Amino acid sequence: MDFDGNSSLTDIDGSVTRSCREADKEEARMIIQPDREKRNANDIRYKNEARRIAVLNEIFGVVELSTEELRTMVWLAGWEDSTVENVVSAIRKAMASDVRRRELPLRP
């Protein structure tokens, strides 16, 4: 768990990534890990990238991302755990701040 009480990258297993691959692409454009054969990635790097993609999919859920945004998320997943955790933490904080802002009464 990270300092916000959220799942860290080390808590995620490959089952989430497998389910992402099986997701109906028409229903939601989830971040899908490209096939290993098409990329220059060893087994460990590919497995770690899969965990990071699963964490990003938790954040973005059913948000419709463009093709360019999906490519950027896959690129981000290629970085080390701490980089992805920091970006995810910042996104969670921004989301929480937006919720709190919307709960404030309207100004006259």
| Cβ-based neighbours of 17, under 8 Å, separated by 6 or more | 33, 50, 51, 53, 54
Question: How far apart are the C-alpha atoms of 1 and 5, rounded to whole Å?
Answer: 5
Q: Confidence band (pLDDT; 50, 70, 90) for 28?
A: low
- pLDDT one-digit tens code per residue, 33-85: 888 877 777 889 899 999 999 999 999 988 899 999 999 999 999 999 999 99
* Stated pTM of the model: 0.65
The ranges assigned to domains in the chain are 9-103
Per-residue pLDDT at 11 exceeds 50:
no
The whole-number pLDDT of residue 55 equals 95
Question: How far apart are the C-alpha atoms of 16 and 68, rounded to whole Å?
Answer: 22
The whole-number pLDDT of residue 19 equals 42
Task: Name the burial class of residue 77, with classes exposed (0-12), middle (13-18) and buried (19+) by CB atoms within 10 angstroms of its CB.
Answer: buried
Contact 41, 49 (CB under 8 A): yes
- pLDDT one-digit tens code per residue, 83-102: 999 999 999 999 999 888 88
